[in-house]
């Protein structure tokens, strides 16, 4: 009888704590969306911001965020996949591999402002990349690489041992087994984690203040030459992202409707990050069901 009572009490406490977390999250999202949704329009999403007049938008900042996301993932995914494959399949247990895992864990807990300062000192100043999308992408790669390595390791370790051993027993090389057997089976975990990592990149601000910059040149969307200073595809130009723009408008905005612009931009950012997370969950479940059905 006492055991049943204790179980009911513990269950009630857990449900109450979970409900508090859900209510806090719902209240935060509701507050941001209620304030910002009314300011979102096609013109708001495509027009350039105004420094002193009403009616500015977030078009260049939204494009910069998407471009930076693509650039970061182009750098992060190959390095993260390679490091995860090495740690999962090739690295033998030793003090060296334990040290690497420790470094990965330390990097994953680094505050983003520290990564930003590292990017400022090393990427912007020492290497001479300046305040640019490329500097921001490299800084975010440092910030996001530990997550990508862990995701790849978990995806490969989720492969049944029997399938790996059966492939090796047939005389297939280790790399061929990893490429043709293990990665396709582990791709639901890897892909879902990659989308979650992309959501983190899209919402990052602190590291970009010191690397990508807080301003953006007037972009000419008819100029697709990546070496032109006003081309949207130039990775070596300064680029204010959406998250940085929200911080800047809230702290330094002089436009009469600065509060409304910040609210609308915040709603766009929240919706985008939510879409990243929901798509990751949906895609992971879809691919898992597809794999189990084939199996």
pLDDT, residue 98, reads: 81
Do both 117 and 28 map to the same domain? no
Q: Which of 71, 70, 75, 40 shows the shortest CA–CA distance to 58?
A: 40
- Are 83 and 13 in a shared domain? no
Write down the pLDDT at residue 20.
93
Cβ distance 46 to 256 under 8 Å?
Answer: no
Query: What does the alpha-carbon distance between residue 54 and residue 258 come to, in Å, rounded to a whole number?
Result: 8
- CATH of residue 91's domain is 1.10.3720.10
Q: Same structural domain for residues 130 and 230?
A: yes
DSSP state of 210: T
Cα first-last separation, the chain: 45
Two structure tokens written together for 169: 């027993």
Res 10: pLDDT: 85
Residue 136's pLDDT is what? 92
Please enumerate in sequence order all residues whose Cβ is within 8 A of that of 256, keeping only pairs 6 or more positions apart, or say none: 53, 54
Q: Are residues 9 and 91 in the same domain?
A: no
The total domain count for the chain is 2
Same domain flag for 155 and 15: no
Domain that holds residue 208: 42-294
Torsion angle defined by CA atoms of residues 103, 273, 74 and 62, in that order, rounded to the nearest 10 degrees:
-130
Dist. CA 241–CA 43, nearest whole Å: 18
Do residue 176 and residue 265 come from a single domain?
yes
Same domain, 171 and 127: yes
Asked if residue 166 and residue 280 are part of one domain, the reply reads yes
Nearest to 49 by CA among 201, 265, 205, 232: 265
Q: What is the pTM of this model?
A: 0.84
Determine the distance from the C-alpha atom of residue 216 to the mean position of all C-alpha atoms in its chain, rounded to a whole number: 22
Is residue 98 domain-shared with residue 11, that is, in the same domain? Answer: no
CA distance 103 to 2: 47
pLDDT tens for the chain, residues 1 to 295: 567 787 888 888 999 999 999 999 899 888 888 888 888 888 888 888 887 777 778 888 889 998 998 999 899 989 989 888 888 888 887 788 888 778 877 777 778 888 888 899 999 999 988 899 999 999 999 888 888 888 888 888 888 888 888 888 888 888 888 888 888 888 888 887 788 788 788 888 888 889 988 887 787 778 788 888 888 888 999 988 888 888 888 877 677 888 888 888 889 988 888 887 787 778 767 766 766 555 5
Length of the chain equals: 295
Does 29 share its domain with 162? no
Alpha helices of 55-132 — where are they, by DSSP H?
Answer: 59-85, 95-108, 112-118
Same domain, 190 and 87: yes
Q: Are 230 and 220 in contact, with CB atoms under 8 Å apart? A: yes
Same domain, yes or no: 184 and 265: yes
């Amino acid at each position: 009888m006492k055991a049943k009572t204790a179980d009911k009490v513990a269950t009630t406490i857990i449900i109450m704590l979970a409900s508090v977390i859900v209510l806090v999250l719902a209240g935060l999202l509701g507050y941001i969306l209620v304030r910002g949704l009314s300011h979102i329009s096609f013109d708001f999403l495509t027009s350039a911001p105004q420094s002193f007049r009403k009616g500015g938008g977030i078009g260049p900042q939204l494009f910069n965020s998407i471009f930076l996301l693509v650039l970061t993932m182009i750098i992060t995914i190959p390095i993260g996949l390679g490091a995860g494959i090495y740690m999962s399949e090739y690295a033998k247990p030793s003090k060296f591999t334990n040290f690497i895992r420790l470094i990965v864990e330390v990097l994953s807990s680094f505050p983003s402002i520290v990564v930003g300062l590292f990017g400022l000192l090393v990427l912007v100043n020492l290497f001479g990349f300046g305040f640019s999308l490329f500097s921001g992408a490299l800084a975010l790669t440092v910030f996001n690489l530990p997550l990508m390595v862990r995701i790849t390791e978990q995806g490969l370790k989720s492969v049944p041992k029997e399938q790996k051993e059966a492939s090796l027993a047939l005389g297939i090389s280790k790399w061929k087994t990893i490429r043709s057997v293990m990665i396709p089976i582990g791709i639901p975990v890897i892909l879902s984690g990659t989308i979650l990592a992309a959501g983190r990149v899209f919402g990052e601000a602190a590291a970009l203040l010191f690397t990508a910059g807080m301003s953006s040149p007037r972009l000419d969307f008819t100029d697709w030459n990546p070496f032109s200073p006003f081309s949207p595809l130039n990775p070596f130009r300064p680029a204010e992202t959406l998250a940085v723009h929200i911080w800047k408008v809230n702290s330094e905005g002089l436009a009469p409707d600065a509060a409304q612009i910040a609210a609308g931009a915040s709603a766009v950012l929240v919706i985008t990050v939510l879409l990243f997370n929901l798509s990751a969950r949906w895609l992971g479940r879809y691919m898992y069901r597809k794999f189990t059905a084939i199996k």
